[in-house]
Amino acid sequence: MTQHKEPPDAAARRAVAPVICYSTATLPEPPLEACRAAWKMARKTGAARVPPREARVVEVPAGGFLRIVCPGGPQVGDLNLFSARDVSERFYSGKTRALHGSHVTTGDRLWSCFPWLRPMATIVEDMLDWYGIDEYGGAVHDVIGTRCDPYTARLLSGTDYHHCCHSNLTRALAAHLGVPVAEAEPHVHDVLNVFMCTGFTRDTGQYFMKASPVRAGDHLLLFAEIDLLAVLSACPGGDCGAAHSSDAACCHPLDLEVFTGPPPEGWSPLAANAYDRSHGAGS
């Protein structure tokens, strides 16, 4: 590939300071302290163990908590979130990324898609928040990756693999809704990569993964801002330190735990986004 010669003002162009696209100063503050107080009184009311290279579903009522736990060996998970009342409202990883950054942690919210655009869940506790950003630019719990899928696997390897996260999520959602996989698949969406350590290479800008720092007993605690349907796949990449979309990696289960109790003091679910949805038509 031919690279063009630098213009005389190349250095000046590169030196232009960046501007943050979305100021979050006006976002409603999550009630973290009230959530932590409610968490102390919550009791486990549901659970599901996610087997390696499979997915499972739990429902979490608004005001409750979802705890995602690594019970054994290091394992990453791909999480889809839906409104339990209408699966058309689902997690919007791109807007969550634009508001909070490429990786999320305590105090960040997981936002739903248009036209709702409201908090679905708030991260109350992240046991991997100590990791920060490493020397490679890697960090944990990303909203930049999509999910391993059979289409990309077919494109790159010429083979069919049915236990990638996209297929796992599709099967689990179809079984929960009682619909064919072809009907469920369009609802499966870009994920929160729980426990996954990722970033972009500084020389080529390519998406990379590295072995997750998660260990047995670590968890991510989410507060449900609306009635949630949570679907989690235990990625076939295991800790994603080597490969995915195959049976090559050593994989482990993950646990989904639902806790309920008195809701946080002063908390109430936020309404759907107030935009009038006219889009300027007829104006």
In this prediction the pTM is 0.96
DSSP secondary structure of 242-271:
S--SSS-S----EEEEEEE-SPPTT--PPP
Q: What is the mean pLDDT of residues 67-75?
A: 98
If phi over 0 gives left and psi between -120 and 50 gives alpha, with beta otherwise, what is residue 107?
A: left
Give the tens place of pLDDT for each residue, 15-65.
999 999 998 899 989 999 999 999 999 999 999 999 999 999 999 999 999
pLDDT in tens, 136-185: 999 999 999 899 999 999 999 999 999 999 999 999 999 999 999 999 99
Per-residue pLDDT, 90: 98
183: helix, strand or coil: helix
What does the pLDDT read at residue 283? Answer: 64
What's the rounded Cα separation, in Å, for the pair 47 and 258?
A: 6
Answer whether 85's CB lies under 8 Å from 259's CB: no
- What pLDDT is recorded for position 245? 87
pLDDT at 282 over 80: no
Give the pLDDT confidence of 214-262 residue by residue, as tens digits. Answer: 999 999 999 999 999 999 999 999 999 998 889 999 999 999 999 999 9
Q: Could you state, in order of their start, the residue ranges of all structural domains in the chain? A: 46-215+235-249
% of the chain surpassing 90 pLDDT: 94
- Mean pLDDT of all residues in 111-137: 98
Q: Please, are residues 84 and 227 in contact by the beta-carbon 8 Å criterion?
A: yes
User: Cα 183 to chain center, whole Å?
Assistant: 22
Written as six digits, the tokens of 46 are: 């549901």
Return the pLDDT at 139.
Answer: 98
Crossing angle of helices 150-157/165-177, nearest 10°? 150
pLDDT at 243: 85
pLDDT at 11 over 90: yes
Residues 37, 262: Cα–Cα separation, whole Å: 10
- The one-letter amino acid code at 236 reads P
Q: What is d(CA 232, CA 249) in angstroms, rounded to the nearest whole number?
A: 18
- Helix count (H) and strand count (E) of the chain? 6, 13
Q: Indicate the burial class of 111 (C-beta count within 10 angstroms; 0-12, 13-18, 19 or more).
A: buried
